[in-house]
Amino acid sequence: MADAIAIIFESADGRRHEVAARQGASLMEAAIMNNVPGIEAECGGSCICATCHVYCDEIAEIVGAPGEEEEAMLELAAAERRSASRLSCQIKVTPELAGAIIQVPSHQT
């Protein structure tokens, strides 16, 4: 895939799923296209369900803080909220994310 960025999604049990994400796509789209377990994305990326909640500890500085809308949705996430919690639908794939490990919470719904 041209302009593919390698990203690793890690489940709560430590299983890793390396995906080739299209630059400019969202992390959620990359996860869904590659059948990453634990990313439900019930709203299809509209920032209204919190079922694509991930932990971005390793890349928190790169992706920055969530916006106001995302903050409100994160309050509704089924999994534990952490300082590096984000909705994967709100994070665009960029070259800076190459090799990043994105943690998927153990309980989404």
pLDDT, residue 9, reads: 98
Looking at every residue in the chain, the average pLDDT score rounds to: 93
CA-angle at 82, arms to 77 and 87, nearest 5°: 50
Long-range contacts at 14-23 (CB < 8 A, ≥ 24 apart): 16/101, 21/93, 21/97, 22/93, 23/93, 23/94, 23/95
Domain 4-103: assigned CATH number: 3.10.20.30
User: Who's near 4: CB < 8 A, 6+ residues apart?
Assistant: 20, 21, 22, 23
101-103 and 4-10: which strand pairing? parallel
* Mean pLDDT, residues 74-82 taken together: 93
pLDDT, residue 7, reads: 98
Residues in the chain: 109
pLDDT band, residue 109 (cuts 50/70/90): very low
For residue 92, pLDDT over 90 is answered with: yes
pLDDT band, residue 3 (cuts 50/70/90): confident
Q: How far, in Å, CA of 73 to CA of 60, rounded?
A: 18
pLDDT, residue 2, reads: 59
pTM given for the model: 0.92
pLDDT, residue 108, reads: 46
